[in-house]
Amino acid sequence: MPITMADVEEELTREPVQLEGGYTDRDSLLYAVAIGMAKDPLDEKELEYTCESVGQRVVPTAATVLSRGRRPVSSDAPARTPGLTSKMNFTMLLHGEQRLVVHQPLPQAAETLVTNRTTGVYDKGEGKGALVTTETDVNLKDGSPLFTLGSTMFYRGDGGFGGTAEGAPEPHVLPDRAPDVTCEMPQREDQAMVYALCGDRNPLHRDPGFAQRAGFDRPILHGLCSYGISCHAVLKAMLDYDETQISGFDVRFSTPVYPGETQVLEAWRDGNVVSFRVRIKERDVISINNGKCTIR
């Protein structure tokens, strides 16, 4: 059944529920491996992210997999009823944009408080799909802010419900000059299988039959895996692997990526902003565009 404006209004006025969350060093270490770190097991810079006896660093974009809540903070909190997206076409879903604000460097393990909310629903028109924007605030158990995530999800089969397209997030504009730095990031054929173990079990990324029903000839790589790979590349090429310099990391996904393809970072540094995009070497297409990494 198509969604309606009443469904949208109900979603946007829902009271967010704060959940208890948390993660262990297994989660942060696995994430670093899943985005391609430590292919060289003697690389000490990357071992600081993948071996706890060498270092305690956490890739900032690991926030995307370390933000899950477990249970309401209050035992008498109302049960969370299914929201708007439960009525939308999951098979036709693509990740459009991802945003991150880092309030303090991520610890390797933590107990957290997690609050999720839907911030916008935008109608691109009949046959053109709908955009849903969400925000997740994650604090440490003492209440201090840890990070804030924002995302834009593109539901290709759910446009035409009578809403507006105005007000959706605007993309960061890249510099009009040749990149200051390029960095090739070869990837594994089984990348999606490894990344799925971080918690994203969407069959679009592993099940060939599901991928074909969604319009792809084979499974595509998780957009958030490519997001992490782009952060890995910025750390490597621009920041000497110092994750504490990153206070924000935003991207727009423009073309699906297949596991095993070589992702090439093209980056520019202007003051406290690293602008970037990612090109797929084998197909010469842009997979991530309008990237903005904000430096402290």
158 noted as active-site residue: no
205 noted as active-site residue: yes
- Name the catalytic one among 27, 137, 205, 232: 205
Among 149, 23, 3, which residue's Cα sits nearest to residue 90?
3
Contact 93, 154 (CB under 8 A): yes
Contact 97, 152 (CB under 8 A): yes
- Separate counts of helices (H) and strands (E) for the chain: 6, 11
Cα–Cα distance between 134 and 99 in angstroms, integer? 10
- Reduced to 3 states (helix: H, G, I; strand: E, B; else coil), residue 47 is helix
User: How many CA atoms within 13 Å lie on the side-chain side of 81?
Assistant: 8
- Name the catalytic one among 27, 137, 158, 200: 200
Number of residues assigned to the chain: 296
Among 173, 104, 176, which residue's Cα sits nearest to residue 144?
104
Among 227, 233, 235, which residue's Cα sits nearest to residue 254?
227
User: Tokens at residue 74, please?
Assistant: 């209050």
Q: 206 has which bridge partners?
A: none
Cα–Cα distance between 260 and 190 in angstroms, integer? 7
Q: 182 has which bridge partners?
A: 266
Q: Which residues are catalytic?
A: 200, 205
